[in-house]
Amino acid sequence: MSAEPTAPLPVPQPQTEGYSRREALVMGLFALAAAATTAGCSAADKLALDDFVAKHFRDLTPDELKDRLAQLEKKYSEQYGKSVKVSATPPIPGVLFGYALDLSRCIGCRRCVYGCVDENNQSRDPQTHWITVLEMDKEGGVNLQNADAFYDHETVPAPGKFYMPVACQHCENPPCVKVCPVEATWKEPDGIVVIDYDWCIGCRSCISACPYGARHFNWGTPSIPKEELNPVTEYLGNRPRQRGVVEKCSWCLQLTRNGLYPKCVEVCPVGARKFGNLLDPESEIRYIIENKRVFILKEELNTQPKFFYYYGL
């Protein structure tokens, strides 16, 4: 089968026509909501309404996207008392991201967990961690039924133990995307599975479907101390989240789509974490796939993760 679609696809309807109906209905909802609030509409009310009728990210026209980003920047900047940038950096053509983690190096120090929290604006209270580091017995091998995420030692690695950090595996065949009833999560062309926090309805089907415990729900209102907020944010990535929506690792797309390594790679003291372009034969990630024997977690589920574990030693 050829890589390019050969079957002629029906021509998309002109956008204006497609939107008029949707727009009308959304405006109807808007009017309803407006009527439900008090007559005097403050700026905060206006913002709440704009959030309520916010469109799906992929329905936004370039102009609408620009407006929405500006609106969010203003909102977050006021909320956190500093200048917050919200971008929607597109994927880089010709790039398919991949990740590798050397299990024989990882010492379970959890630097990645907290580096990720800082970089990606995860809620401090209630606590949200995108990365879970599992401790397992060396003699048992990778056996999740004997894994402990809550180990607490004076120093690591503890004798007889090894460590396996787990976060979003950015599957090529992601079950979370399949089950989402409203298309609030999808796989981008660079392989990153993203979430539109303004579209997620909080049904948590994706949490049930994810075999890796990678998805996390905002059970309460997320909170980040103002001084700790990372002001460089992405719409589909690390911008501040709301209560009642799902979030997860985005491979730091605010960094990686600008050519940088993800934060967990940057902070790992043992260099166990590797990241790069799977389509580039010269990349570290391809070197590892070629020269080490890699494995993927729960391969029998055919999720086809782009997150590879390997034993470097």
Partner 1 sequence: MSFIRKISNFVTGTGRMALLGGNRWYYVWLAVLVACIVQAGFAYAHQYQYGLISTNMRDSVSWGFYIGNFTFLVGVAAAAVLLVIPAYVYDWKPIKEVALFGELLAVAAIIMCLLFVMADMGRPDRFWHLIPGIGHMHLPSSIMAWDSVVLNIYLIINLSVASYLVYCGYYGIHYNRKIVVPLVILSIPMAVSIHTVTAFLYNGMAGRPYWNSAILAPRFIASAFCSGPALLLILFQILRKVSAFEIKDEAIHKVAELMAYAMAFNLFLFGAEVFKEYYSDTHHLVHYEYLFSGLHGKASPIAPYAWISLAFAVISFFLFLIPKTRRMPLTMNIGCVLIYFSVYIEKGIALIIPGFTPDQLGQVYAYVPSSTELRVAAGVFGVGFLLFTLMVKVSVAILFERGDQAAHA
Partner 2 sequence: MTAHFRYTTSQLLAPLIFLAPSSRRDTDPLWGSMTRIRNIRLAVAGASAAVLLTVACRPVQEAGPRFGKGIEGVAKAKGVVPKPTVTLFPVAPPPFSEGAFPCSECHGLTDKVNRVPHKVDFHEEIVLQHDEKNRWCLDCHDAQHRDKLHLADGRLIDFTESYRLCGQCHGPTLRNWKAGEHGKRTGSWSGAKQYLLCASCHSPHSPHFKPLKPKAPPLRQEAIR
Distance CA 241, CA 258 (A): 22
What's the min distance (Å) between Cβ of 26 and partner 2? 13
Question: Is 266 strand, coil or helix?
Answer: helix
Which of partner 1, partner 2, none does 155 bind, CB closer than 5 to 8 A by kind?
Answer: partner 2
Select from 101, 107, 112, 200 the one that contacts partner 1 (CB under 8 A).
Answer: 200
Cis peptide before 5 (omega within 30 of 0): no
- CB 41, min distance to partner 2, A: 29
Q: What is the DSSP string of 159-223?
A: TTEEEEEE-----SS-HHHHH-TT--EEE-TTS-EEE-TTT-----HHHHH-TT---EE--S---
Give the Cα separation of 186 and 213 in Å (integer): 17
Please give the helix or strand (H or E) that residue 28 lies within, else none.
helix 15-36
User: Is 62 one of the binding residues for partner 2 (CB under 8 A)?
Assistant: yes
**Binders of partner 1 among 3-32, rule CB under 8 A?**
21-22, 25-26, 29
Residue 30 touches which of partner 1, partner 2, none (Cβ within 5-8 Å per kind): none
Residue 204 partner contact from partner 2, partner 1, none using kind-dependent CB cut-offs of 5 to 8 Å = partner 1
For partner 1, the binding residues in 69-128 under the rule CB under 8 A are 126
Among partner 2, partner 1, none, partner that 287 touches (CB below 5 to 8 angstroms by kind): partner 2
Part of the chain binding partner 2 (CB under 8 A), chosen from 68-76, 106-114, 197-205, 236-244: 106-114
Q: Is 145 left (phi over 0), alpha (psi -120 to 50) or beta?
A: alpha
In terms of Cα–Cα distance, which of 19, 98, 10, 3 is closest to 58? 19
CB of 205 to partner 1, least distance (A): 5
Backbone angles phi, psi at 247, to 5 degrees: -140, 165
Q: Pick from 156, 209, 232, 297: which binds partner 2 (CB under 8 A)?
A: 156
**Distance separating alpha carbons of residues 197 and 246, to the nearest angstrom:** 7
Q: Are strands 307-310 and 97-102 parallel, antiparallel or unpaired?
A: parallel
Of residues 89, 157, 209, 242, which one binds partner 2 by CB under 8 A?
Answer: 157
Find the part of the chain contacting partner 2 (CB under 8 A) among 102-110, 195-203, 221-229, 231-239: 102-110
Q: Which does 145 bind (CB under 5 to 8 A by kind): partner 1, partner 2, none?
A: partner 1
Task: Report d(CA 89, CA 254) in Å as an integer.
Answer: 7
Interface with partner 1 (CB under 8 A), residue from 90, 94, 220, 271: 220
Give the footprint of partner 1 on this chain (CB under 8 A): 21-22, 25-26, 29, 52, 56, 126, 132, 134, 143-147, 149-150, 166, 175, 178-184, 199-205, 207-213, 215-221, 242-246, 298, 301-302
